[in-house]
Amino acid sequence: MDPIRIAVVGLGKIARDQHLPAIAGTPAFSLAATVSPHDPGTEGIPHLSSLDELLKKGPAIDAVALCTPPQVRYGLAVQALERGIHVFLEKPPAATLSEVAALRDRADKAGVTLFASWHSRFAAGVAPARAWLAERRIEKVSIVWREDVRVWHPGQAWIWEPGGLGVFDPGINALSILTHILPRPVFLRTATLSIPENRAAPIAADLSMCDTSGAEIHMDLDWRQTGPQSWDIVVETDAGTLRLSRGGSVLTTPTGTEHNEDLEYPGLYSRFANLIRGGRSDVDMAPFRLVADAFLRGHRETVEAFHD
């Protein structure tokens, strides 16, 4: 079977750190082109300044991975879907829920694959955590997701603009794990969003949620942490405590600790290939809905200015 010819659109940090290596290591794909108006591209791979140029001039492609800021993904995805090209959306999948819903409908009508990706769900501990929790009664959940924005998003002004999500850009990773491992749906009760006086998006957030059985869920997000970073989810159950740490790569249950090699992005691309081969889409909006709910219902407080 011939490999799927894919173009990567947007060559920022995540594309170079994760997407390009994952594509190179996934035999189902071949990197056909890269697209960016600001980056010179990768040696030996055709490079174009825009998706429009690529679609007009070639090379031919079967799929695109959209790694641009979310505020511009909708238009790019529409261009691809109209040409019958499969679309991989980095997270968050778009700037709004309505955009994602519209893209899902377009993909269905075009008969092509749309994949709203959640890379943290492919962290090593997540699948076994989901299996372990399936038979347990959830009593309480605590999430602490604190990191240093200057380390992970240096100079990325778009992330502070409307649609960029601010601290929810990493926070949605935790929500993607939460909504995947818990056996019941989750909804927001209250939220506090801390927004720097010179920015449009929050630098920290405190969320109170619960599942449909009433189990309390608390989430602490902060982009101001220096030193060791915290990406931890603790689930208290009737059979003891489960902990996912290091972003989901380390799983601890009452029977011990598992720490396996993380292959998040290779896992995403294997999933994308299987969806394409099977003629299916995967557009789970549960994590994105919780973020939207936080912006809808959250109390906003102004905090000191943030400067890179």
Residues labelled as active-site residues: 91
Element at 285 (helix H, strand E): none
155 three-class SS: coil
Is-contact 129 181, C-beta < 8 A?
yes
Please state, in angstroms and rounded to a whole number, the distance separating the CA atoms of residues 156 and 159. Answer: 6
For β-strands 204-211 and 216-222, DSSP reports them as antiparallel
Backbone angles phi, psi at 207, to 5 degrees: -120, 135
Q: Which residue has the tokens 């947007």?
A: 10
DSSP notation for 49-77: S-HHHHHHH----SEEEE-S-GGGHHHHH
The CA-atom distances, in angstroms, between 181 and each of 60, 217, 253 are: 39, 13, 14
Please state, in angstroms and rounded to a whole number, the distance separating the CA atoms of residues 60 and 236. Answer: 51
Which are the contacts of 13, defined by CB distance < 8 A and separation ≥ 6?
none
